[in-house]
A and B are shown apart, each in its own frame.
Chain A
Amino acid sequence: MIPGTYLPTEYLPILIMLLFATGFGVVTLWVGRFFRLRRPYAEKLIAYESGNPPSAPPRFRFSIKFYLIAILFVVFDVEAIFLYPWALVYDKIGIFAVVEMFLFIFLLLVGYAYAWRKEALEWER
């Protein structure tokens, strides 16, 4: 390869996928304009919340506990997601992959022990 002439062609499918996904959303919404009925009246135009008229502004302070739970969920969810590709190829990589993954799980286990001991998993403290 001549230096400086590299074109990342193997990423072309991703670009096509991106264009297609964007196009699908935009085109369907746009085409829908020509077919759907449009008869607005006052009740139809108010903000919609589970079938009830909204009773309060939606922006109020949530308890910090929700964020804590969400962060813990993300951490352990990512762990689970990493396990899938590993499970597909670990027999090809061999002992290295097993050690590596158990190291990774051990790191998270320390975090789990920490979260548990610090009572981050308790809702009422």
Chain B
Amino acid sequence: MNNINMSFDLYHLWQVCGGQLILIVAGLLLILVDIILMEKDQEIRGRWMGWLTVFIFAATIGHLACREWDLHDTIFMNVFSADKYSIFISIVMTCAGLLAAMMSIGYLRNNGLVRGEYYILLVFAVAGAIGLIQSVDLLMMFITLEVMSLAIYALAAFLKDSSYSQEGAFKYFLLGSFGSALFLFGVAIIYGTTGTLNITQMAQYISGGSYSTLPILVAFAMIMAGFFFKMAMVPFHMWTPDVYEGAPSVITGFMATAVKAAAFGVFMKVLFVGFTPILASSGQPDFAATVNLSALGPYWKPVIWWLALLSMFIGNLIAVSQSNIKRMLAYSSIAHAGYMAVGIIAANGEGRMGVLFYLFAYTLMNIGAFGVVYLIDGMERKAQDLEDYRGLGYIYPSLSFLLSLFLVAMAGLPPTAGFIAKFYVFAAAIKEGYFLLAALGVLTSVIGAYYYLRVIYLMYMKEKVKDVERGPIAAPTVVALVIAALGVVYLGLLPENLASVANLAQQSLAMIF
């Protein structure tokens, strides 16, 4: 009991969990601001809440980027860790939150549902996501996973009058809970077998001799399955199209990026720290024995090999036949999960770096695309069919240009971030000898190029058949779109800076303690 007192130190807490603290305290303040402003009219309330949220996310990014970068530390008896890896992914997720919050100001006004809860839930979702990526303890991982997920379920159901939104959110809730339950059950088995919830100690126990026993393998499979639900990998992707189609467009963009980044980030942390010999190279004698964990490779590598392949094929193939653009982008996000999994299966530094780079690039291009989709939509579901995009290139040239840029990036064409990201993950896979997977992956991205470029084709080379009236464009949305577009082009032309940062981040995985 004494060590609680000894290890507790407010400054230490601020250093390690500063990002989470800012978001939680700010979320509470937002609740109070919301009830203080309740009597005011919608316009003022929406502006205050929106800009406060933008400011909160910006402050969090500033704190994460400036203060914690060189810190390697843990707190609360090794429950949360601050290392470059978690900071990198936290920044990716907070950027997604920032861009989503900026777009939400205009989105909520266009759809006439300015409500404070929206921003509060967004802030708490990012707080949960940062907690998830910082946790080293499996139980804390579960709690923060739920903090994030519950906020997202509510946000997905935010269009109260739309049955699509309600249906999607309910499916998401049921399947998401199922995934969380699988994860929790796996954690329980791990705890029953090894007697620890800390992933580094777990790695030590497992490598001590029980690495291929049945309970460990079952628990490993369940934990992986739980994360695959959140990552929307193929056999676990059923909820994705309905949820992404029904949820508010900006939230769809946020879900497809921040939640995916959180799920991929924590999955890589658990997989590489807990179930591969990455710790053996940390130089600490305690972890030298974890080199035995390479015996688990033959169990998880084929699984991820097939799931990556299926995600790429099924995601891209079904996306071709979609007529709703949000549904198309949902299937494309499944395909992107497959590409990122190619980087995970490589299991080398380049692969992990590629996945981190991919997450950042994907965040920019996907949120950007959904931002344009909501602007062209005007009111949710007014103009979401691909047919509505016919001839838009001449009516709304700048919006069409931005959408084209983001779609080209998703298709993976140079000179955009999407190309570099795909290049990194496929190069890493080839380096490890996965020629077939890389070749098939490139093949599927050709299928992908078909449906991304079809939208551009419809916009610029077809006559319009229907009058589409975009909604009013809010200034913060424009800023967010321009930031995303510049980021996509910048990362496509000069990827070295981010790549070296991502490389440092992935190296720090081996040094959690």
Chain A positions near chain B (C-beta within 8 angstroms): 2-6, 8, 92-94, 96, 107, 110-111, 113-114, 117-118
Q: Quote the shortest CB–CB distance from A101 to chain B (angstroms).
A: 13
A79 to chain B minimum Cβ distance, whole angstroms, is: 16
Q: B32 at the A/B interface (Cβ < 8 Å)?
A: yes
Distance from A117 Cβ to chain B, minimum over Cβ atoms (Å): 4
B206 with A4: CB separation less than 8 A: yes
By secondary structure, the B interface counts as helix
- A110 to B194, alpha carbons, bound, how many Å? 40
Across-interface contacts of B204 in A (CB, < 8 A) = 3
Binding site for A on B (CB under 8 A): 1, 4-5, 8, 28, 31-32, 34-35, 38, 191-195, 204-210, 213, 289
Known contacts A3-B205, A8-B192: A110-B5 contact under CB 8 Å: no
Shortest distance from the beta carbon of A13 to any chain B beta carbon, whole Å: 15
The docked-state distance in angstroms from the alpha carbon of A3 to that of B35 is 54
Tell me, in angstroms, the Cα distance from A5 to B28 when the chains sit together.
45
CA distance A113 to B209 in the complex (A): 54
Contact status A6-B193, CB under 8 Å? yes
Residues of A within 8 A of B35 (CB): 113-114, 117-118
Q: Is the CB of A110 within 8 A of B32?
A: yes
Q: Given contacts A4-B205, A6-B193, A93-B5, list 17 more A-B pairs with CB under 8 A.
A: A3-B204, A3-B289, A4-B194, A4-B206, A4-B210, A5-B209, A8-B192, A8-B195, A94-B5, A107-B28, A110-B28, A110-B32, A111-B31, A114-B34, A114-B35, A117-B35, A118-B38
Please provide the 5 A-B residue pairs with the shortest distance between their CB atoms, ordered closest to farther: A3-B208, A4-B210, A6-B195, A117-B35, A4-B209
Task: Point out the residues of chain A lying under 8 angstroms from B213, CB to CB.
Answer: 4
| Residue with the greatest number of chain A CB neighbours at <10 A, chosen from B192, B195, B210, B213 | B195
Bound together, the chains give a CA A107 to CA B25 distance in angstroms of 10
For B5, list chain A residues within 8 Å (CB). 93-94, 96
**A118 to B, closest residue via Cβ:** B35
Shortest beta-carbon distance, A110 to chain B, in Å? 5
Best-surrounded residue of A5, A96, A111 (most CB of chain B within 10 A): A5
Instruction: Evaluate whether A2 and B192 lie within 8 angstroms (CB atoms) in the complex, with A92-B1, A93-B4, A110-B28 already known.
Output: no
Cα A107 to Cα B205 in complex, Å, equals 38
**B368 vs chain A, min Cβ distance (A):** 33
Would you call A110 and B31 a contact (CB within 8 A)? yes
Of the candidates B28, B191, B208, the one whose C-beta lies within 8 Å of that of A2 is B208
A-chain residues with CB within 8 Å of residue B209 when the two chains form the complex? 2-5
Give every chain A residue within 8 A of B32 (Cβ-Cβ): 110, 113
Among residues of B, the one whose C-beta sits closest to the C-beta of A89 is B1
Among A4, A96, A107, A111, the most chain B Cβ lie within 10 Å of the Cβ of A4
User: Which residue of A is nearest B211, CB measured?
Assistant: A4
Flag if B205 contacts A6 (CB, 8 Å): yes
Smallest CB separation, B161 vs chain A (Å): 15
Chain B residues with CB under 8 Å of A113's CB are 31-32, 35
List 28 A-B residue pairs with CB atoms under 8 Å apart, sorted by A's residue number.
A2-B209, A3-B207, A3-B208, A3-B209, A4-B193, A4-B205, A4-B213, A5-B209, A6-B194, A6-B195, A6-B205, A8-B191, A8-B195, A92-B1, A93-B1, A93-B4, A94-B5, A96-B4, A107-B28, A110-B28, A110-B31, A113-B31, A113-B32, A114-B34, A114-B35, A117-B35, A118-B35, A118-B38
Which residue of chain B has the shortest Cβ distance to A106 in the bound complex?
Answer: B28
Chain A: which residue is nearest B208 at the CB level? A3
CB contact between A117 and one of B4, B38, B193 (< 8 Å): that residue: B38
CA distance A94 to B195 in the complex (A): 29
Smallest beta-carbon distance B13→chain A, Å: 12
CA distance A114 to B36 in the complex (A): 10
- CB–CB A96/B8 < 8 A: yes
Bound together, the chains give a CA A107 to CA B213 distance in angstroms of 44
Residues on the B chain within 8 Å of A5, using CB: 209-210
Of chain B, the residue at the smallest CB distance from A107 is B28
Inter-chain contacts of A96 with B (CB < 8 A): 4-5, 8
Residues of chain A within 8 A (CB-CB) of B210 are 3-5
* Min distance, Cβ B513 to any Cβ of chain A, angstroms: 17
CA distance A8 to B196 in the complex (A): 10
Contacts of B31 in A (CB 8 A): 110-111, 113-114
CB distance from A59 to the nearest CB of B (A): 18
- B8 near A4 (CB under 8 angstroms)? no
A116: nearest chain-B partner, CB-CB? B35
Measured CB to CB, the nearest residue on chain B to A99 is B8
Q: Separation in Å of the B496 CB from the closest CB of chain A?
A: 42
A93 to B4 alpha-carbon distance, docked (Å): 8
Chain B residues near A3: list those with CB within 8 A.
204-210, 289
A4 to B, closest residue via Cβ: B210
Could you say which residues of chain B place their CB within 8 Å of the CB of A2? Answer: 208-209
Q: Which residue of B lies closest to A95 (CB)?
A: B5
- In this complex, the member of A2, A111, A118 whose beta carbon has the largest number of chain B beta carbons within 10 angstroms is A118
